[in-house]
Amino acid sequence: MAARHWADRQHKAQLVGAASRELPDLGTTLNSGSTRLATTDRPAVYREFLRRGGTHRCVLLGPAGEGAARFKERHAASTSTKRPGSPT
């Protein structure tokens, strides 16, 4: 599972590196998006994207909506494991 997670992160980094104008970020909380911007990982691909003039657009999915259900199913996300105080 750790190898898959690393491959997913590497694939996302490639996508962000190839983006030129806008980068949508869908999720059920804003934790992931903010973590990507504040990361100490190098290279910091999201910050580099912003420095190139790109727009990082975060879309918060309503937890009871169909979009969130599909997102959770596809990404095996569970709102019960999110940080306290995050939208559920």
**6-55, pLDDT tens digit by residue?**
677 788 888 888 888 998 888 777 777 778 778 887 788 888 999 999 99
pTM: 0.61
- 79 band by pLDDT with thresholds 50, 70 and 90: very low
- The residues spanned by each domain of the chain are 24-77
Average pLDDT over residues 70-79: 70
Pairwise CA distance, residues 28 & 72, whole Å: 8
Q: Provide the 3-class DSSP secondary structure of residue 66.
A: helix
Phi and psi at residue 53, in whole multiples of 5°?
100, 10
CB 13 within 8 A of CB 47: no
CB 24 within 8 A of CB 30: no
* Region class of 68: left (phi > 0), else alpha (psi between -120 and 50), else beta: alpha
